[in-house]
Amino acid sequence: MDIAQVWHRVADAQPDPPRWLVLAAAGLALLAVLPRPVWRLSRNVVTIAHEGGHGLVALLTRRRLSGIRLHSDTSGLTVSSGPPTGPGMVLTAAAGYTAPSLLGLGGAALLASGRITALLWIAIALLAGMLIMIRNAFGVLSVLVTGGAFLAISWYGGTELQAAFAYLGVWFLLLAGVRPVVELQRKRRHGGAPDSDADQLARLTGVSAVLWVALFLTIALASLLAGGNWLLHWR
């Protein structure tokens, strides 16, 4: 297969999958988010998106990204250097909890335009870029397994399998973007997570951490509503 064929395979639009597949993907994504035992495992994907969001925005705001760590308890840490205050630091801190939902929204836009294979390859590119900055073994394993799944499906999977995987991934990000925000506020209400992203943002901006959590939740819910509308082609 030459470069032109690869390009057309990635860039060309695919036909919309059947409605049952889209709904089945939504159902499976919901099952990956709601039951606590499954969530303990699937939340690792959210952590990849969360820390990747911090890292990407740090680079976009010209901060120096030192490294990213992903842990088996689904926590993570992204370290960047630069001015300790200012817009770059605020945007970097705000990017984590919003990243899964906004990535899901972007994915929904691609799927609504039929760019199924393009979405898979964009995901591979983002994961490959993130892999360079991972600084621990579990993080490397997590990103490699996730990226390997995307690569295998995009290269060897048939049209319906690619569509099922892409829709499942996007539905998961849209749905899973809500739960960590709710969990964050629950921890904060019981005196936990004093150094959460919301609390760091409160110290940086003087705006209450509760309002930052409310903003995260608003973005997550708005992304879910808009992205779900695009995926289901409701008009």
d(C-alpha 92, C-alpha 34), whole Å: 28
For residue 14, being part of any structural domain is answered with no
* 80 strand-pairing partners: 65
Buried b (16+ CB within 10 A) or exposed e, 53-86: bbbbbbeebebebeebbbeeebebebebeeeeee
For residue 1, being part of any structural domain is answered with no
Which structural domain, as residue segments, surrounds residue 59?
23-232
What is the average per-residue pLDDT within 161-179? 97
Residues 142/70, Cβ–Cβ less than 8 Å: yes
For residue 18, being part of any structural domain is answered with no
d(C-alpha 21, C-alpha 168), whole Å: 9
For residue 2, being part of any structural domain is answered with no
d(C-alpha 21, C-alpha 167), whole Å: 8
51: confidence class by pLDDT, cuts 50, 70, 90: very high
What is the average per-residue pLDDT within 7-17? 74
pLDDT, tens digit, 9 for 90 and up, residues 115-135: 999 999 999 999 999 999 999
For residue 64, which phi and psi values (nearest 5 degrees)?
Answer: -90, 115
Into how many domains does the chain fold?
Answer: 1
**Residue 15 in this model has a pLDDT that exceeds 90:** no
Would you state the pLDDT for residue 1?
A: 56
* 79 strand-pairing partners: 67
For residue 5, being part of any structural domain is answered with no
For residue 164, being part of any structural domain is answered with yes
Is the pTM for the entire model greater than 0.85?
yes
For residue 49, being part of any structural domain is answered with yes
Would you state the pLDDT for residue 235?
A: 44
